[in-house]
Amino acid sequence: VRFPFRFRIGRAMASAAAGASPARVAVVQMTSVGDVDANYATCSRLTKEAAASGVKFLCFPEVFSFIGSKDGEAMKLAEPLDGPIMQRYCSLAKESSMWLSLGGFQEKGPDDSHQYNTHVLIDDTGKVRSSYRKIHLFDVDVPGNMVYKESRFTAAGDTIVAVDSPFGRLGLTVCYDLRFPELYQILRFKHQAQVLLVPSAFTKITGEAHWEILLRARAIETQCYVIAAAQAGKHNEKRESYGDSIIIDPWGTVIARLPDRLSTGFAVADLDLSKVEAVRTRMPISEHRKFDSDWKPTPL
Ligand SMILES: O=C(O)CNC(=O)[C@H](CS)NC(=O)CCC(=O)C(=O)O
């Protein structure tokens, strides 16, 4: 058990963090295509390779299991979380004794014309532990690219999800959520998240401009680890994603990364939850926060 700051942060926290080891995690980068079996083969290979490197928790990007080239194509494949596609990933987790974060699964939606964009967390026994439906939908006119309208086929979620794991308390989010800091503030200050997950399929243009900056800002302002798995490269004639999967520590330092030019692989880091507590103890922003109700009304 690696635990250098035990005495500084107190007994209760020490045992919580000690229970959290080992904490070797990895972030995947991949180029999903319009073929469920081919994408599963890639995920399965990466999971087995990661297991061989001692990884206990592997994080995949949004739309890991399918990226179609035609509008609404993914809708036809949408399944409930106990359907055959997710069952295959549950077996993979069990066989490899690996926790899996599967960001952006096409979950069967509330009606025949909408799916959910769901981040699914599977434990090392192959059980679905938790799931989060993307709240912020990407209806955006990307300069120099195209107009995205995710809400045409996707229904938004309405529930914030944080869940305990051997790797700390995880906050589940997806892709475009990253631009809405209030979600991450709630995960940290209301739900005590320690590790934020941001599986993504960022566009090339917005990713180059904003990806790393937004992720490091979320890590710094929440004092959490951030694990952000990215789709990378060309999925079909029309669609390309910005790679650069990263893991960031609660001080904002990038501790693992896969550059955009590497399309498929994973990068490993050891999470040390005592670092989260050390950063929070020395810079107690949770005690310094102010709220609307703390201010005097603005004089008119
Ligand atoms: O529709 C799918 O196939 C899966 N969903 C996505 O890829 C989503 C919605 S189109 N993409 C994003 O949220 C990109 C966000 C982004 O690029 C930014 O915030 O700049």
Q: Of all protein residues, whose CA lies closest to atom 11 belonging to ligand 1?
A: 201
Overall average pLDDT of the 279-285 stretch: 98
What does the pLDDT read at residue 15?
39
| CB-ligand 1 contact for 176 (6 Å cutoff) | yes
Instruction: Categorize the per-residue pLDDT at 20 as very low, low, confident or very high, splitting at 50, 70 and 90.
Output: very low
- Render pLDDT for 248-263 as a digit per residue (tens, 0 to 9): 999 999 999 998 888 8
pLDDT at 21: 56
Best CA proximity match to 174, nearest among 78, 264, 63 = 63
Residues 32, 64: Cα–Cα separation, whole Å = 6
Q: Which residue has the higher pLDDT, 298 or 273?
A: 273
H or E, element range at 121: strand 114-122
pLDDT digits (tens, 9 = 90+) for 63-108: 999 999 998 899 999 999 999 999 999 999 999 999 999 999 999 9
Count other Cβ atoms within 10 Å, centred on residue 135.
18
CA 41 to each of CA 9, 104, 117, 276: distance values in angstroms, whole numbers, following the listed order: 43, 18, 21, 35
With CA atoms as reference, report the closest residue to 121 among 193, 199, 38: 199
pLDDT digits (tens, 9 = 90+) for 102-131: 999 999 999 999 999 999 999 999 999 999
Residue 211 confidence (pLDDT): 98
CA gap 59, 47 in Å, rounded: 10
Q: What is the pLDDT of residues 184-206, one digit of tens each?
A: 999 999 999 999 999 999 999 99
Q: What are phi and psi for residue 288, nearest 5 degrees?
A: -95, -5
Helix or strand or coil: residue 129? strand
Q: Domains, the chain, ranges and CATH?
A: 20-282 (3.60.110.10)
Give the Cα separation of 268 and 256 in Å (integer). Answer: 6
Among protein residues, the one with the nearest Cα to ligand 1's atom 13 is 176
For ligand 1, say whether the CB of 153 is within 6 Å of any of its atoms.
no
Instruction: Return the percentage of the chain with pLDDT > 70, whole number.
Output: 93
What's residue 182's pLDDT?
98
In this structure, of 124-128, 209-213, 236-240, the range with the lowest mean pLDDT score is: 236-240
Is 134 a residue of the active site?
Answer: yes
**Quick check: CB of 202 below 6 Å from ligand 1?**
yes
pLDDT at 13: 41
Q: Is the pLDDT of residue 22 over 80?
A: no
* 232 CB-near residues (< 8 Å, 6+ apart): 29, 30, 31, 241, 242, 243, 244, 245, 258, 260, 262, 263, 264
Q: Which of 56, 90, 134, 204 is flagged as catalytic?
A: 134
Question: Is the beta carbon of 73 within 6 A of some atom in ligand 1?
Answer: no
Q: Which of 168, 201, 188 is nearest to 289 (CA)?
A: 188
* 99-111/114-122 β-pairing: antiparallel
With the most atoms of ligand 1 within 8 angstroms of its CB, the residue from 39, 66, 138, 139 to mutate is 138
pLDDT tens per residue across span 147-175 = 999 999 999 999 999 999 999 999 999 99
Distance 274 CA to ligand 1 centre (A): 33
Distance CA 51, CA 43 (A): 12
C-alpha 283 to ligand 1 mean position (Å): 34
